[in-house]
C-alpha cells in the first residue's frame, strides 16, 4: 500500500476515479491538464505513480490551490532533507518514490524551494526541480 497515488490526464478520463479521499485539480498554467491525487491505492487505475510519505506537516484537503514540486536528489541530500524537515517543521508534505531518487513536495508555499535549498546548503538554481501550480475543482465544475 502506498501513501499517495498520482494520476495525470484529462478531466474526462480522471473523473470516474474521484473518491472522497482524493484531490482533483487542474494545472493553472495548462488548464486542460488535470491531476488526481488519491490517498488510497486504486487497482482500477493502471497508470499510477506511487509515493511513500516521509514527512507530513500539512492537511492537503484544506487548501484550494497548492504546488507540487518534483525534486531529483542524491541519497545524501534526501537524508539531509528528511532529517531537516522533521526538525524544522517545513510547511510541506514530502513523499519519496520507493527506492528512487525522486521526491515530491506538496505545499501551499511557492517559496519552499528557497527554504529547501538553504537546508541543503545549495542555491535554488542548483536544485534539480520542477514546480506546478494546481487549483482544486470538483468533478462537476
Q: With bands split at pLDDT 50, 70 and 90, how would you rate the model's confidence at 120?
A: very high
What pLDDT, on the 0 to 100 scale, is given for residue 99? Answer: 65
Q: For residue range 25-51, list pLDDT tens digits in order.
A: 999 999 899 999 887 655 555 445 678
Mean pLDDT confidence for 91-113? 86
Helix (H, G, I), strand (E, B) or coil at 74: coil
pTM of the model: 0.83
Q: With bands split at pLDDT 50, 70 and 90, how would you rate the model's confidence at 138?
A: confident
Helix (H, G, I), strand (E, B) or coil at 128: coil
Euclidean distance between CA atoms 34 and 9, whole angstroms: 5
Helix (H, G, I), strand (E, B) or coil at 59: coil
Amino acid at each position: 500500500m502506498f501513501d499517495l497515488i498520482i494520476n495525470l490526464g484529462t478531466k474526462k478520463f480522471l473523473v470516474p476515479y474521484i473518491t472522497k479521499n482524493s484531490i482533483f485539480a487542474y494545472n493553472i498554467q495548462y488548464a486542460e491538464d488535470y491531476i488526481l491525487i488519491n490517498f488510497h491505492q486504486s487497482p482500477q487505475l493502471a497508470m499510477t505513480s506511487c509515493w511513500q510519505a516521509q514527512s507530513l506537516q500539512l492537511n492537503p484537503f484544506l487548501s484550494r490551490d497548492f504546488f507540487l514540486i518534483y525534486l531529483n536528489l542524491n541519497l545524501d541530500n534526501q537524508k539531509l532533507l528528511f532529517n531537516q524537515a522533521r526538525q524544522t517543521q517545513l510547511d510541506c508534505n514530502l513523499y519519496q518514490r520507493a527506492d528512487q531518487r525522486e521526491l515530491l513536495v506538496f505545499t501551499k508555499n511557492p517559496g519552499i524551494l528557497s527554504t529547501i535549498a538553504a537546508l541543503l546548503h545549495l542555491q535554488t538554481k542548483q536544485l534539480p526541480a520542477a514546480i506546478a501550480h494546481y487549483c482544486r475543482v470538483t468533478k462537476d465544475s
